[in-house]
Each structure stands twice: as structure tokens, then as C-alpha cells.
Structure 1
Amino acid sequence: MDLDWKQWNRGDIVYGIGVPVIVVLLIVAISQLSNLLGGGFEGLSGLVIGITMEIQELVLIAVVPLLLGLVWNQWAGGASGFLMGSLYALYWADSFRSPFAGAYQGSGTVLLAYLLSAMLIGYVAGALNKHSNDFRRMLISGVVATTIGGIMLFWVFQLSPANVVTGTDGFLLTVLSRTACGALIPIIAKVFAWYGIAMNKSQVV
């Protein structure tokens, strides 16, 4: 159905303008929490920085590829993983080469790990789910894809002398955080599927 310029409703304002603006404001507020808490990497400020950086990493190189792989296909998941992984690798490439960080030997392997893990998560999720809207299949596909991606990420990290993610704690943080995403994101994917089906039915009617 083609809409003309007069056909607006309250949902357009709420979901088209209000919600996106609120999300942007929340992101900005979270980014400023460390400054409000005094800055630095110690105490509560350091905890906030650590949590926000972990969320940033998971969203870019786990959540986005996984979601597109589940709701679309393995090619969309893999391609988005390549793009998101590349952006995250570029971010850390600049950090590795900053005058404060020095030149880390082996940092290229760490950056490659981010890229490959994101591609793997998106592709495996799409290849296993195969366009299915069944929640249990989405859940299994998501958990398997993110767990494999997390294990591969941790393993490639160990090949680099620049790696600081080691030991049992490092393994659990790397893998379990992604497995948790694999268990949660299928819920969002299912909502997307329901919304798409409802929209298609309304268009038919």
C-alpha cells in the first residue's frame, strides 16, 4: 500500500522519531558516565568504562551479525560480520598505534581475530537457521554460532604476543558473553519475525 504525504499517525512520531532520539540520548549519557564519576580507570569509573567497552564490542561484532544471520541468511550475517569486524578492528588499530600505547608487535593478529569472529558468528547463525521462524531453532543456531565465534576469537588471541586476554577468566569473559548474546538475540529476532508476518498479513487484508 502506497502512503501519501497526509497519512501520518501517532506511531510514526513515537517509533519514527521519539524512540530513536531517546536511544541516541541514552548512548550519549552512558558514554559520559565515566566523566561524571571522576574519570580514570580505577574504582567505579573503571568499572563503567569496562562494561561500556564490552557492550560496544558485543554489539558490533556479535549482536549485529547474529541478528542479520538469523532473520535473513548466512550471506547477510557473514557480510555484516565483515563490515562490523572491520570497523571494530580499525578502531583498535588506531588505539594500538597511538603515541600512548606504543607499537604492539602482533597486534595484527588480534585485529584479525575480531574480523574473523564476527564473520563466523553471522555466517554460522544464518547457515544453521535457514530462514526459520521457529524460536528453538533460532536459539540453538544463535548459541552454537556465538559459542564457536567466541572460542575461535580466544584461540586466535593466544597466537599474538600483544594479547592480554588469557587464562580461565579471559576465556569465560570472551566465550560466555557471546553465548549469552546467542541466547538473548533470538528473542529479538523472533519479534522481528512476528512483526514482519503481521505487516504482511495487514498488507494482504
Structure 2
Amino acid sequence: MTAAVIGDEASFEAAADRVRKAKFRSELQVREIPAPERIAPRSLALAAGVAQGSTHPADDGDSPYGAGRFILLHDPASAPEWGADFRIVCFAQAPLEIEIGIDPFIADVAWSWLVDALESRGARYEYASGTATKTLSTGFGTLAEQGDAAQIEIRASWTPVDHDFAAHAEAWSELLCLLAGLPHHEGIASLGSKRARRGGLGA
């Protein structure tokens, strides 16, 4: 193993440790999940789901109230394309009330929440891209009892230009909370502390 490879691995592990120390609201259940293997040589993935009452997210983070993914990618070979060795990819979705779903500006508002969440935490970034998609559906046949439904989904990626990777993960979690309609709340839980108590994420 060359010194360059060792240095790359050390850089990624330091960044991953910072992500694991991010603090999340108690309404979110966040866990580390297997990271995708083909996007970058090194990556870390988190799944989050919104818990309400006795309903808790599944092991993969899926929740009817809102769910998301956060992936930290590391690939020095992609620096010319990304602008740096790291890239963050995230996904967040939540159901909407029909009255909100038909708002023609809801996609713009949802994207602005992501930008505001990053800026409020001082998470510096560049080369951001993504989509905000709202979906309206009506059930028919055996699904008729579901009636009308609406959903908002954001898929985004950006290049972090600092080493405060925890701030980027916290911004993603705040976006998910806002999409799920959760009120602002100061109660937070640390993924790192859960990792220590359980002897490892996902245990």
C-alpha cells in the first residue's frame, strides 16, 4: 500500500468520524447503513426516518412520515469534476397535505430550505445541484380507499469546501425535519453517542 493510498484512507476516516459526531433531533432515528460501492472508492452512508408516537422507522430508515439518505463520497480521482476530493449526495422525502402539494411554489420552497439549512450551520459548499419534485396521486381500484396523496422529494449533491462534515449532515437532517412538518426543536441526539452505547452503528 503506497503512502498516497494510506493518506487518502486517513483523510476519509477523519471525515467519516466527523459525520458520526453530528447531532440530530430526537424525532429522527439515524443509523449508518452499507454505503454504495460503485460511486466512489470510499463512502459513508446514513439513513434517517421520522418517528411519531408508536410508529418507528424500519431498519433501512423508511418511515411514512419522512425518510432520507446522506452519503459522503471520497475519490481524489474525481477532484477535477467535483472541485475537491469529497462530494455529498443526499435524498429526503415526506408526505404533504394536498393543499400544500398543489402549491406551485412548494418545490422552490423545499430547495430554499436546504440552502438555508446549510447556511445556518456554516456548512460551506460549492457546485450544488439537484431536483425538488412534488408528486400528486389518486388511488383507484383496490387502492381507492387511499384517496388523494401528495409527496415532496429532494435529491441533491454538493462539494463541501471545509472539514466540518458534521454541519453538512446536520443540515440534511434539518431539511428532512422541515419537509416532515416538524416544529423547530432543541432536543437533539448524537449519532456518535449512540454508536458508543451500542458498540457500533447498526448493532
Normalised to the residue count of structure 1, the TM-score between the two structures is: 0.27
Which of the two has greater strand per residue? 2
* Greater relative CO, 1 or 2 (CA 8 Å, sep 6+): 2
Which of the two has greater helix per residue? 1
Larger Rg belongs to: 1
